[in-house]
Structure formats: structure tokens, C-alpha cells
Structure 1
Amino acid sequence: MAPTRKGSEDALFPDFPRGPLQAYRARASFSWKELALFWEGEDVLRFKKTIFSALEKDPLFAHPRGHDLSLEQYRELTFRRCKRIFEYDFLSPTELPQSPLKFLALTNSLGMYDWSLATKVVLHSFFFVSTLYSSGLERHFRYIPKIFRMEIFGCLALTELSHGSNTKAIRTTAHYDPATEEFVLHSPDFEAAKFWVGNMGKTSTHAVVFAQLYMPGGQCHGLYPFIVQIRDPKTLLPMPGVMVGDMGRKIGQNGLDNGFAMFHKVRVPRQNLLNRTGDVTPEGAYVTHFKDDRQRFGASLGTLSTGRVCIVGMSVTNLKLAVCIALRFSATRRQFGPTDGEEIPVLEYQLQQWRLLPYLAATYALDHFSKLLFLDLVQLQQGLLADDRSARQAELGREIHALASAGKPLASWTAQRGIQECREACGGHGYLAVNRLGDLRDDNDPNCTYEGDNNVLLQQTSNYLLGLLGRGGPDGARFESPLKSVDFLEAYPAILCQKFEVASLQDCLDSAAPLAAYKWLVCYLLRESHEKLNQERKSGISDFEARNNSQVYCCRSLALAFLELTVLRRFHEHTHQPDVPPSLRAPLQRLSALYGLWSLGQHMALLYRGGYCSGERDSKLMESAILELCAQLKDDAVALVDALAPPDFILDSPIGRADGEAKAASPRGSSLASGDVPQARAPFALPWDPRGACC
């Protein structure tokens, strides 16, 4: 007989030990186990449980993560943990294409434990590998088995000291020499040094290096990726002509060895050019099937969308952990009360609900968006591997680029603000390092910067939206896209005539109300940005200056509002689908409405300025709806975080324990000398032998 759904729940989720949180769990309107199964799926939940269980049982992963260790010790310990992850073989290379959500679960599960470890694993096993797949051909796939056996260790080298977001200005060169059929890689000066490259500081033996491709006649064909060996795998000494080093201590993620490299006339074989978008014949002739160089450039940098999509998930994971800690603590921490009698949990206070519950709603909304965007990216990559050159494939690439370019800023900024709010909402206990909120804040901070500065990235999204206006036929612009994120703009003249016409508070408690407001807002900002850009161009300045002068208050706001709308629309559709279990519909739909209204609140001035709202009733109605939704979700808050929270060993926060008992814990950062946790060696020692075995 097949196991019942209840049997599956009990097998996956043992009951929490009774404690102070039991009172709130008893009040919940639904089963947190049922929500976890609906939200993640049984396969993913079992997979995550396998990962968490392995880490908890393995002495190598005993806490602490890195406090009170020297930089060298923490870097080596992280590498040894990285190697152990590959030994566990949680997800083999052959499974990756068939199990994209399991890969996402692996990344974020490791990140819940330690982002230094997770980032190190992902940079080597996914970014390095996916670049070979997406930019190379079959001749390059021979590296894949060596990567997963850790016979070589990889990194992705794009950013330079003087150029990060402006990838077209990268200055590392690769001149082709037909006499030897080799490319000569060279860094003209220190400003052209590859910089901030994860894994490069200590451990990488090979790098995918982006360089400007030059032919013998001096013609440059733009940026291309090359496989370059930077260290000897047996000794870890730099290869001839390569200067490579570590960048030192950072604000966070110090177990990850970010590094720099310079190349002095380093020769690499012609076959090491990743040539999916263009190639060089042995004689020195350049060939490509792209007629438009802009399309080729965009295809060659497709890996950037991969990085940005992953950062969305990383940011959401950080927010999950912070919200779990803060809400569990808020449900057990007692302060004041209506009389001189018993104090009440701070979660009962409207102010605490207003501070934290919108971030819980944002966690669910952004988590759903993150998963869908990752699946969209997998679809794009599959098209690239199949050499799909259709118009739909090209449009899908542009749409995902636009969504990822705004998704990373929205997710990382929301996590940044949310973690800080959670830290403050936990009072002095939130400031204790042992409760981990400080680490989450520091480890999340680089998400706002790498793979593109957030404010700069938003220009990519607004450029995409503005570009749609100029791509119409004789009847005007046509708004449609493979993922349907812009299809609503087809009716944007009519949408601009709409007003906020919610009749009652009850009507405002469904996410349809903020969804309609967001559609108007994006249409309004698109019109305003288009008019501002045209006005600047008519003044006689260059197109560069016109775009530069249109960002603040126009294009930047357009990009963020468009992405907030996309997140809300996808979450609204998900929570209103017929497959949602009846007991989960009300709490999930409340989360959707709360996220929409709370996010919309930061745009109230625009809603009034553009005439969508008028009078004080509209804003008061939205404020009342937010508070009402918080009150309705208050008793479900603990169950909602239970469905997201990892085991106590992974969450590693005394005030966020699953039983609600804030028991004393040894300070994070205590010495690794106790128990059987291996001591890191100093100076940094060779971490593997030629066969891939750890020394």
C-alpha cells in the first residue's frame, strides 16, 4: 500500500520538541508540514534532509564556521569541506540537467550552513562548468570529469581592477599566433589585472579568462572566454607568466579565497578558446555565425545571467534565515503587557508585526520568483546547447537578462534591509554574534555588488523596456515576450486611464488590488521615462548623456517597479491556482496581498502624482489593509517559518531554536582544538594529491 500524505509528512518531519513555541504552533490555521510539502515538493525536501543530515553527522562540519580562525586556517578548512561535499556526491554531473531545482536546493542548503563553502562549491562545479557548456563545444567537455573529481579546480575571471560592470572595456588581450596555433594572453598593466575572482586566491588551477580577441592583422573581435591553466595541480605554484595572489580579508565570506591574476604573454592552445559564438581557424581567420556583433557579445556573456539568477536565490536564503530567527524569537520573547500581570510575547504587538511580517511575505514571494527564474534560465541554456537560433530563443535571452538584472538588486536589497530589521527587532540579542544575524548581514552584503552593481544593473532592465517601444510595426509597438512578463503593456494606454477604485477594506485584502496598481505604475513610469529620454535627446546632448540624465526618478524606478510587479504577478498566480490545498489558500493569499501592498507603499508619491490615487482615503485604506493582513497572519507566523527553516544545527542561532528555548551555547568562534575536528594547517598546504585525494 502506498504511503499516505500524512505518512510522508511524518517520515520527513519529526515533530518539534515541546517548548515555548508550542502555543503559537497550536494556533496555526494549517499544518506547516503540509505547507512544506506543497512549497518544496517531497523529492526536494528529502534531498535537503540528506544534505543537512550529512553535515550534522560529519565532524569536519562541526561549528564554528570561521570565527577565531586565522584567514589561512579558515580558507583551508573551507576547501577541505568543499572537497568533502564532492565526496558525498549529493548531485552528480549527469543529474544536473534533469534536476535543476535539486541543484538550487543544494546551493542554498550549503549557503544556509556557510556561504563561503556554498560559493566555493558553486563557482567550481556550476559556474566554471556551465561556462564550458554554454560557451564551448564538445572538445572542451573533457574537463568536466576532472572538475568533479577535483583533479583541477576552477574559477571564472571576468572583472578587472579598473573594469567591472563595463565588460566591453575589459583590457586583457589574446593575440592569435598562427605560427604556433596559440593565443598569447597578456595584461597590459596592473589596472587590467583580473580582480575579485572567487577561488583564484589560493586554490584554483584553471580559470575561464575573458579577453579581447585580436587577429594577426590587428583586428579586435571583442570579448571571448579562454581556458587558462594558472597553477600546477601538483604543487599549486603559478604557471610561467602568471602572477596570482589572494586579496585578503573581506567584510564577509572570508572562507572564500578571492584573488587577482596578471598574465605576461601566456600562451594557450587554439583549442582553449571557448568557441560557441565564434572561432579562429589554424591559419588565423575569424569565423562566426552571428551577423550582429551585439548578439554575439550578449551570447558570450550569457553566464552573467546565470550568476545573477543564483544571487537572487542566495539573497532569499539569507532573508529566510533572518526571518526565521526573528519571528521565533518574537514569539517567545516577553516584554510589557496590558496590566502589571504577565508579560506578553513581542509578536503580539502591532509594531513588531508591521516590522517583520512583510519581510516574511517578501521571503515567500521572492522564493517563488527565484525558483521560476532559475527554471527559465535552464530553458534558455538548453536552447543554447541545442544551437537554437530562433527569434524566440533570442527574445527569451533578452527577457531573462532583463529579469535577472533587476531581480538581483530587488532580492539583495530586500534581504539587506530585512536582515537589518530582523537584527534590530531582536534587540540586544540580535547584536550577539552567536545569534548569527551579523554574519547573515555581512555575507549578504556582496550580493549587492558582484555580478554587477545594483544601480548599474537596473539600467539593463529599463533599457529593455524602453527598447520595446521602438520595436513595433506600422501600427505601433508590440508588447509580448516568451515569459509574458511584458504582455500586459499591450494595453498600456488603457491602463493609464485607470484609477484606484477599491470599494472596501475587504477588497484590498486580495493581491488583485496591488497587482492592478502595479500595472498602472509600470505603465506610468514607462511613459515618464520615455518622455524624459526624448526630452534630453532633443536638448542636443549625446545619447549617452541623455540616458545618464534619465535614470534618477525615472528609469531606475521603472526597472524596480517592473520587477516588483513580476514577482507579485507570479506569486499571485501561484497562490490563486486550483492546486493549492484548501487549508493553505488563505495564508498564502494573505502573504501575496501583504507583499503587494507593502511593496507598493514605497511608491505612494508616484501613485498620487500620476493621478491613480486621490484623497486621503486611498492611502489610509492601503495602510489599514497592511495592518489587517499582519493581524491575520500573526498566529500563522511560526508555522510559516517552520515550513522554511532548516534544522537547528544549520540555522545555528540560540534565539531561533525550533523549540523556542534560547539555551546557552558556546560562543561561535571557539577553537577547533576540541573534539575530532581537523586543525587547519599553516601556511596553506597542498590540499589534494594528483589523484584528487586530500593530503
Structure 2
Amino acid sequence: MAPASQPEAGRQGPSVEGPVLLLLPDFPPGALDDYRRRASFPWREMALFLEDDDILRFKQRVFGAMETDPLFARHPSGGDLALEEDRELTFLRCKRLFEYDFLSAPQLLANPLKFLTFISCLGMYDWSLATKYFLNAFVFGLAVQNFGSERHLELIQKILTMEIFGCFALTELSHGSNTKAIRTTATYAPDRQEFIINTPSFEAAKVWVGNMGKTATHAVVFAQLFTADGQCHGLHAFVVQIRDPKTLLAMPGVMVGDMGRKLGQNGLDNGFAVFHRVRIPRSQLLNRTGDVSPDGVYRTPFKDARQRFGASLGALSAARVAIIGMSVVNLKLAVSVAVRFSATRRQFGPAATADQNKEEGEEEEEEEEEEIPVLEYQLQQWRLLPYLAATYALDHFSRTLFLDLVRFQADQMVKSQKHHQAELGREIHALACAGKALASWTAQHAAQECREACGGHGYLEVNRLGTIRNDNDPNCTYEGDNNVLLQQTSNYLLSWLTSGPREKKRIKTPLESVNFLEDIDAILGQKCRASTVEDWLESSACLAAYKWLVCYLLRESQQKLRQEREAGRDDFEARNNSQVFQCRPLALAFAEHSVLQRFVELYRPPRTPASLRPVLARLAALYGLWALTGHTALLYQGGYFSGDQVGKNVQKAILELCSKLKEDAVALVDVMAPPDFILNSPIGRADGQLYKNLWGAILQGRHVLDRPSWWAELAVKKPTLGSLESKL
């Protein structure tokens, strides 16, 4: 998005007047002008196509408020803040966001994407702040709303006014992904109509809970529900007060503390809690999936315990969809910095002489080197531009999957079409699990590559690439370790095949992500038809290869499981032995196919402006080819590829697409980059004044020109070699 606070007219693109120019003003003139002039598409049209003017105005409002509010001022000493100072400042900023009241219920109903946009805006500024706000207002708040009932409406009001501040306590010291084995207990005592929340051992301590370390007053705590007769009814959610809102001191029986400094996001206080027979009212059970009567009788609307368990953890799908969006934000930040740096950083270049046609024997004149932007180098293009393509593809996937989730949650309010809702829920779960793994890993690899592509300057903390990398790191772990989540997706895909010969049956899902599996036999009989480099420049060749790859890995996974079971291994061991080379790549290939399929469906319809289709098509083809190269061995192993020319054509096509997209790279970044104040990277500023901005940032650092406080230690007379020998 164009900088809201920089109205200076740049020299790129056609003249634009009226509201659009106010919404998307020109960039300041500078070193990036040449690339902006060479762009093959109008960047404003792309911005309005991807995000409508309502979303763009909302982003402008959020960014503008933070830039003009002194509380959000950037501190030159940012990384030097003490942990307690960092936590305090983050909380004060979070509190201010509630005062701004950016989001209202009518706004969200009119445009649900504003929620995802808001979290993205906050994340572009600071992930500690974004996560702190998100965990209280939405994860904690939505857990109370979705798992609770009418008796919990008062809590919702207190969350919205910050009378209470919440967190979501599921993970324990000894159990994370295996949520069924959670050991915290909630035992009902009918004589006082209370639940007794208890931590049976230190291994059952709730850990890594965002907001719990210092600020949360209440927690949604997941515990095994026991009735007075000793029967366990499985995992349920309870609202437990952990601190006094007036004093922030721990409640009786609660030991709550901070996990300490982390690799990143240190403005967020992740904490732990131990409960020693803490009594809470019966009404604090969030009773959507199960309830206990005053006299201690357990009731649930679910006949199947597995369905109840799935409903209890349904919020995790929403969190995983959100993490996909968070990872995309980190992709946008890292790629924006690296591309703008590469377009302005000049190094080496072709040698030029005063006279190129010197006669033999004439004295050679000294050659002069004409430095060129490092973005002109093929190697730099190959390192960065596939991540630019991945950013656009994953961003569209994130938004569309979020809207699918919104529709699913709305459908749950309707009691009809239960089968359709169940199938939609399973499909979203599979896409969210694999999508979260794909997006978070892609962002992590991109942050590191972008850091290295910016050379030594990328290593400076002030340029933010290290912070982006560290802040993205937990996305690979929380709400499910990526490798564990991929098993959920592969299990879903395997469920569409029978254990014996495949029965002829219709495969049709609400989102149509697996419909092509109906033709698995025909697809597996195909060979690669792309015989030239030009064939691979169209995304259809990649889509055909991905469909074959998913079918091949699905069949391989099925056969591996069958072999393991025939060898006498139980289901757990059979699945465990089928992950590395079968099920894991199956889930990743399915995720990449889904991302590419949705992105292709974005630019092909007639409603897509003709001026944007070529560049979008190139982005789709580059993403598909680049991702597909990670599976080259499998494509040859299964016989889809044959001969060395296919692989060579894929490589040539990637380099050709990089060369073409190089001209559009800066404009594509301009569409997605936040204002300079939010991006907060001297080498990534929109004016392209690389060295001026970096030098100014270095000089603004705290104490950069001061002598060290321990200067006297250097001034002490050093012992001579002779004196040292005499002492020896």
C-alpha cells in the first residue's frame, strides 16, 4: 500500500486524480523511479483489484493513527529496551487500540476481511502488539463466545471494554500436540456447585500461554471434566480468574508467572500457571459442548465423544487460518525490504573502456566499471522473485480460506445441512493444517534468504530482517507443530481411498479441493505433456503436474500403509512408518496445489482487468514451477518426467520468468508494502535513498558516538612482555 503520509508526486505511472490519488498517492521521487516506470501494469489498479477501496481506506486509517500517535513512535533504541519496558509499552499500545475502536460488529458483518486486515496491519508494525491484541480480543473472546452460552454474555462485554484481559490456556509442560492427554482436571463438587481446577503435577502446568506472563486476569483453561462419581467426560473449557484486575496479584491457589525472554516477540508475555484446588462457580464451564446440572449430572448434545472433542478444539482451525495470514505478512515485509534494496544497491557491472575499438598494439586505457543494481543479476532474481510470487499466491489463499471459514462458522448457526457442514469443516481443517505449515515455512525461508540477499546491511537489526525472521519462527510451532499438522491433512486425503481396490464413487467436497481425486486412475496414467520451455510458462502445465503428484503420493501412502499392516504392525506404527517419504510430501504437495489452483482462478475470469492478467499469470507460473522443483525427484521416480530435457526446460522457464518479473518487482512490492513508518527499515524505504537512509539510522542510534562507559579499562597501562616473563 502506498505511504499515507507521503503525498509527494513521483514520476511513475499515468496521472491519477480524485479519491484514488488521495487513497494511493504517488511515491516520493528517487532511485526507484526507473523500475517504477518500466513496470508493465498500473500498480494502483492492482491494489484496488486485490483489496477494494473500503479495505484500503481502513488500512490507511489504522496506519495513519499509529503514525500520528506519540505512543506508537519508533524508538531508535528499540532493541535495547529492557524486558519489563518492552512488556509495558506493548500493553499501553494494546490498550490504546481498544480506545480507537477500529472494529465494530456492523463493520465486521459488512466486510469480514477487515478482521484479517486489522491483524495484518498490527503485525506489520509489531507482532508482539498484534499477538497481544489478537489473543485477548479474539482468541480468548471468541473461545468464550463459541464454547459458551447466554450465561457468558457478560464476560464478552467485559472483554470488549478491557475490564478483564484474557488468554487461552491449552498447552501443558508435558503435552502440546497430543491434546487428548491434557492432565489438568476440573472436578465438580455438587455440595457447593463448583468446579475444582487442579494441576496434578508440575508436568501438567499450563505453559507458553500468551498474555498469561504478566497481564492476563482471566484464562480459558482446558481441563478433563470429572463428575462427583469419578467419571471423566473428556476435555472441556472453563473460564478461570487468575489475577485480581485491580491489583494484578495472583488469585488464591494460582501460581502464575512469566516464561522469560524468547527468540522474538518479547513485548508479548508468555506465561505459565499452576492451579492448586482452585474453586470456580459451575457457571464458569463453557457449556456449548457439554454441561453439568446443579446436582452433578453431565449432559451433552453430542452422542459421539470424538465429535464433542472436535467441537471443543474447533477454534484451532480459526487460529491456524490466522497464522497463514500472519506468515504472509512476514513474507510481505521481508520481500519488500529485499527487493527495494536490490533495486537500489549497485555493485560491480560490465567494464567500459574509453575506446572499444582500439587498434592492436595501442596502449590500453584503464577500464572503468559501471555498477548496476544487484536486482539485474540473475542469481539475485532467482533468490528473491520466487518468494515475491509466493507472497501473492499465499496472500490470495489466505484471504479466500478465511472467507471460507467465516461462511462455515455462519453455517454452524443453521441446524440444517449437518452433513454439508461436517464435510466443510473437515476440508477447512485439512487446508488450514497444511496451509499453516506451508505458509510459515515459506516465510521462514524467505526471511533468511532476504537477510542474506541484503548482505551485511541485512544483518543490522535496524533494517528489521532479523526481527521478521525471529518473530515468524513461532508460527512454525504454535497451534500445532508443522510436521504433526501435515499428518492431519494426509489422513484426510487417505480417507478418500478405500483400503482395497478403489470403488467407483463420486468425490465432491464443498470447496472442491479434492474433486480431481475422482479421476485418480486416469491421472496416474498420464505423462508430462510440456515439451518446451514455452509450455512451462503457462501455469496449466504446473497444475497438471501437481494433480499427478498428489495422486501419486496418495497411492504411494496408501500402499505403504498396507505393507506396514501386512507386516503385522498396528495402525499407530504403520502410520508412524509412512510419514517421511509418503504422507508428509503428500500433504505439502496438496497444499501447494491448492494455493496455485486458487491463484490461477483469481486471474483467469473475465472480471480480472486485462492490464493485470499478464503479470498475475507470470506470478502464478513462477510460484508453481519454483514450488514444483522441490518434488523433481518424485516426478522422475514415478515416471511423470522422463529424460533430462524436461528438468532443463523447467529450470530455463524459471529463469525466464524471473527475468520478466524483474521489471515489475518494485511495482509489485509497492502494491503490498506498508508505509515507511510501519515497514521501519532504512534500506527498504519507498524513496530508494538507500545510503542516506541507512547512514541517518546509524547515527540516530543511542550512544553511537560516545566512548564506552568502561573506557578507563582500555586506558590502563598494559604490562610489557618482559614484566610478564618475570611474573612467570
How far residue 444 of structure 1 moved from its aligned partner, in angstroms, is 0.5
- Residue 680 (structure 1) aligns with: none
Kept after mapping to 2: 8 A contact 1:469/1:477: no
Kept after mapping to 2: 8 A contact 1:247/1:260: yes
Whole-angstrom CA distance in 2 between matches of 1:671 and 1:89: 34
1:155 maps to a residue whose letter is: C
Aligned partner of 1:551 among 579, 596, 606? 579
Kept after mapping to 2: 8 A contact 1:134/1:384: no
Secondary structure of the residue that 1:185 maps to in structure 2?
Answer: strand
- Greater length-normalized contact order (CA 8 Å, ≥ 6 residues apart): 1
Q: Give me the CA root mean square deviation.
A: 1.8
Structure 1 residues 198-217: aligned runs within 5 Å: 198-217=210-229
2:204 maps to a residue whose letter is: A
1:127 maps to a residue whose letter is: V
Whole-angstrom CA distance in 1 between matches of 2:634 and 2:583: 13
Whole-angstrom CA distance in 1 between matches of 2:245 and 2:320: 30
1:391 corresponds to 2:419:
yes
How far residue 471 of structure 1 moved from its aligned partner, in angstroms, is 9.8
Kept after mapping to 1: 8 A contact 2:531/2:646: no
- Residue 55 (structure 2) aligns with: 44
How far residue 11 of structure 1 moved from its aligned partner, in angstroms, is 1.6
1:70 maps to a residue whose letter is: A
- Residue 526 (structure 2) aligns with: 498
Kept after mapping to 1: 8 A contact 2:499/2:562: no
Post-superposition Cα deviations, 1:382-424, rounded to whole Å, max 9, x if no partner, equal: 2234456601111111111111111111001000101111111
- Residue 682 (structure 1) aligns with: none
Structure of larger gyration radius: 2
How far residue 271 of structure 1 moved from its aligned partner, in angstroms, is 1.3
Aligned partner of 2:155 among 124, 143, 148? 143
Kept after mapping to 2: 8 A contact 1:67/1:670: no
1:160 maps to a residue whose letter is: E
Whole-angstrom CA distance in 2 between matches of 1:405 and 1:56: 35
2:570 maps to a residue whose letter is: S
- Residue 628 (structure 2) aligns with: 600
- Residue 61 (structure 1) aligns with: 72
Structure 1 residues 509-548: aligned runs within 5 Å: 509-548=537-576
How far residue 472 of structure 1 moved from its aligned partner, in angstroms, is 11
Q: Judging changes above 3 Å, is the alpha-carbon distance between structure 1 residues 199 and 66 closer, same or farther for their aligned structure 2 residues? A: farther
1:236 corresponds to 2:248:
yes
Q: Judging changes above 3 Å, is the alpha-carbon distance between structure 1 residues 667 and 265 closer, same or farther for their aligned structure 2 residues? A: farther
1:577 corresponds to 2:577:
no
Whole-angstrom CA distance in 1 between matches of 2:498 and 2:699: 56
Post-superposition Cα deviations, 1:634-687, rounded to whole Å, max 9, x if no partner, equal: 100000000000000000111101010021333599569xxxxxxxxxxxxxxx
Kept after mapping to 2: 8 A contact 1:134/1:385: no
- Residue 420 (structure 1) aligns with: 448
**TM-score when normalising by structure 1:** 0.94
1:197 corresponds to 2:209:
yes
Aligned partner of 1:15 among 6, 10, 26? 26
Q: Judging changes above 3 Å, is the alpha-carbon distance between structure 1 residues 345 and 520 closer, same or farther for their aligned structure 2 residues? A: same
1:90 corresponds to 2:102:
yes
Whole-angstrom CA distance in 2 between matches of 1:479 and 1:292: 25
Whole-angstrom CA distance in 2 between matches of 1:379 and 1:22: 43
Structure 1 residues 410-489: aligned runs within 5 Å: 410-470=438-498, 475-489=503-517
How far residue 494 of structure 1 moved from its aligned partner, in angstroms, is 0.4
Q: Judging changes above 3 Å, is the alpha-carbon distance between structure 1 residues 168 and 97 closer, same or farther for their aligned structure 2 residues? A: farther
- Count of residues in correspondence between the two structures: 669
Kept after mapping to 1: 8 A contact 2:38/2:663: yes
Post-superposition Cα deviations, 1:7-59, rounded to whole Å, max 9, x if no partner, equal: 33212111111100000000001111111111111111110000111001011
Whole-angstrom CA distance in 2 between matches of 1:582 and 1:45: 22
Aligned partner of 2:656 among 618, 623, 628? 628
Aligned partner of 2:615 among 574, 578, 587? 587
| More divergent stretch after superposition (166-175 vs 289-298) | 289-298
Whole-angstrom CA distance in 1 between matches of 2:698 and 2:564: 58
- Residue 100 (structure 1) aligns with: 112
Secondary structure of the residue that 1:29 maps to in structure 2?
Answer: coil
Aligned partner of 1:280 among 292, 303, 314? 292
Structure 1 residues 120-135: aligned runs within 5 Å: 120-135=132-147
How far residue 213 of structure 1 moved from its aligned partner, in angstroms, is 0.8
Aligned partner of 2:168 among 125, 137, 156? 156
How far residue 92 of structure 1 moved from its aligned partner, in angstroms, is 2.1
1:655 maps to a residue whose letter is: I
- Residue 681 (structure 1) aligns with: none
Kept after mapping to 2: 8 A contact 1:201/1:244: yes
Q: Judging changes above 3 Å, is the alpha-carbon distance between structure 1 residues 378 and 388 closer, same or farther for their aligned structure 2 residues? A: farther
Aligned partner of 1:665 among 684, 696, 719? 696
Kept after mapping to 1: 8 A contact 2:490/2:587: yes
Kept after mapping to 2: 8 A contact 1:67/1:669: no
Kept after mapping to 1: 8 A contact 2:123/2:130: yes
Post-superposition Cα deviations, 1:64-99, rounded to whole Å, max 9, x if no partner, equal: 384111100100100000000111111124533443
- Residue 295 (structure 1) aligns with: 307
- Residue 644 (structure 1) aligns with: 672
Structure 1 residues 222-371: aligned runs within 5 Å: 222-339=234-351, 340-371=368-399
Post-superposition Cα deviations, 1:519-570, rounded to whole Å, max 9, x if no partner, equal: 0000000000000011101111111111100001000010000010000000
Kept after mapping to 1: 8 A contact 2:145/2:156: no
Post-superposition Cα deviations, 1:313-368, rounded to whole Å, max 9, x if no partner, equal: 11110010100000001011111112133211111111111110000000000000
1:173 corresponds to 2:185:
yes
1:532 maps to a residue whose letter is: K
Q: Judging changes above 3 Å, is the alpha-carbon distance between structure 1 residues 48 and 523 closer, same or farther for their aligned structure 2 residues? A: same
1:32 corresponds to 2:32:
no
- Residue 72 (structure 1) aligns with: 84
| More divergent stretch after superposition (273-282 vs 430-439) | 273-282
Q: Judging changes above 3 Å, is the alpha-carbon distance between structure 1 residues 471 and 376 closer, same or farther for their aligned structure 2 residues? A: farther
Q: Judging changes above 3 Å, is the alpha-carbon distance between structure 1 residues 463 and 572 closer, same or farther for their aligned structure 2 residues? A: same
2:678 maps to a residue whose letter is: I
Kept after mapping to 2: 8 A contact 1:462/1:558: yes
Kept after mapping to 1: 8 A contact 2:177/2:480: yes
Kept after mapping to 2: 8 A contact 1:468/1:478: no
Q: Percent identity?
A: 67
Kept after mapping to 2: 8 A contact 1:466/1:530: yes
1:397 maps to a residue whose letter is: G
How far residue 278 of structure 1 moved from its aligned partner, in angstroms, is 1.4
Kept after mapping to 1: 8 A contact 2:433/2:486: yes
- Residue 720 (structure 2) aligns with: none
Q: Which sections of structure 1, spanning at least 5 residues, go unmatched? A: 673-695
Whole-angstrom CA distance in 2 between matches of 1:216 and 1:233: 31
How far residue 216 of structure 1 moved from its aligned partner, in angstroms, is 1.3
Whole-angstrom CA distance in 2 between matches of 1:113 and 1:464: 37
Whole-angstrom CA distance in 2 between matches of 1:459 and 1:252: 28
Whole-angstrom CA distance in 1 between matches of 2:555 and 2:462: 50
Whole-angstrom CA distance in 2 between matches of 1:97 and 1:281: 35
Secondary structure of the residue that 2:559 maps to in structure 1?
Answer: helix
Kept after mapping to 2: 8 A contact 1:133/1:385: no
How far residue 479 of structure 1 moved from its aligned partner, in angstroms, is 2.3
Kept after mapping to 1: 8 A contact 2:499/2:558: no
Whole-angstrom CA distance in 2 between matches of 1:162 and 1:112: 33
Whole-angstrom CA distance in 2 between matches of 1:474 and 1:359: 39
Q: Judging changes above 3 Å, is the alpha-carbon distance between structure 1 residues 423 and 42 closer, same or farther for their aligned structure 2 residues? A: same
Kept after mapping to 1: 8 A contact 2:682/2:697: no
